[in-house]
């Protein structure tokens, strides 16, 4: 199976703080083809970068800058990567304003979690790509 995956889950140091998030046992995905993407960097943001959170349809940094366009551009690139490579499933980083699924931070930068999806997850799901996070994926539910 071809699987789109958040690059930071694969060891890429592309997070806003310049770190990765090696919280997934990649050996569980042996035999699958992984296609890593980082929508925030692909959309034009730097490493490191100011943390950002979703505020309704907008993505705003903790410095008050609107980076919605970069997030949307990155989401389009992730979708294109998925479609070009036949990925019907994605495993993305939980709670990210790009990659989060089901839960995201509320825009107050107080670590308050609310229901919602990241911008990339929203676009992938609208295009019938099934999204899991590193917390809820299980190789038995990917198919
Ligand atoms: Fe990039 Fe998504 Fe990881 Fe953020 S959560 S660093 S956008 S891959």
What are the sequence ranges of the domains in the chain? Answer: 2-51+68-93+118-141
Q: Please report where in the chains the tokens 């699924």 appear, as a residue.
A: 101
Q: Which residues line ligand 1 (CB under 6 A)?
A: 6-8, 14-15, 38-40, 93, 96, 98-99
Number of other CB atoms surrounding residue 103 within 10 Å? 15
Closest CA to 49 of 90, 76, 19: 19
- Residue 89 — very low, low, confident or very high, per pLDDT cuts 50/70/90? very high
Residue with CA nearest ligand 1 atom 1: 38
The model's pTM is: 0.96
Ligand 1 atom closest to 37 (CA): 8
* Ligand 1 center to 3 CA (angstroms): 16
Q: Is residue 33 within 8 Å of 9, Cβ to Cβ?
A: no
- Residues 16-40 have pLDDT tens digits of 999 888 778 888 899 999 999 999 9
70-82 pLDDT, tens digit each: 999 999 999 999 9
* Spacing, Cα 15 to ligand 1 middle (Å): 6
Pocket test for ligand 1, best of 3, 4, 6 (most atoms within 8 A of CB): 6
- Quick one: which H or E segment has residue 133? strand 130-133
Nearest CA to ligand 1 atom 6: 15
């Amino acid at each position: 199976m071809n699987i789109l995956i958040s690059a930071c889950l694969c060891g890429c140091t592309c997070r806003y703080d310049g770190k990765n998030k090696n919280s997934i046992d990649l050996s569980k995905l042996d035999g699958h083809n992984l296609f890593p993407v980082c929508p925030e960097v692909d959309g034009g943001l730097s490493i490191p970068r100011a943390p950002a959170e979703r505020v309704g349809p907008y993505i705003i940094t903790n410095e008050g800058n609107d980076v919605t366009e970069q997030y949307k551009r990155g989401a389009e690139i992730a979708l294109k990567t998925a479609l070009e490579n036949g990925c019907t499933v994605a495993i993305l980083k939980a709670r990210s304003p790009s990659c989060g699924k089901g839960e995201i931070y509320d825009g107050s930068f107080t670590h308050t979690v609310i229901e919602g999806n990241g911008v990339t997850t929203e676009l992938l799901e609208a295009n019938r790509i099934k999204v899991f996070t590193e917390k809820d994926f299980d190789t038995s539910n990917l198919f």
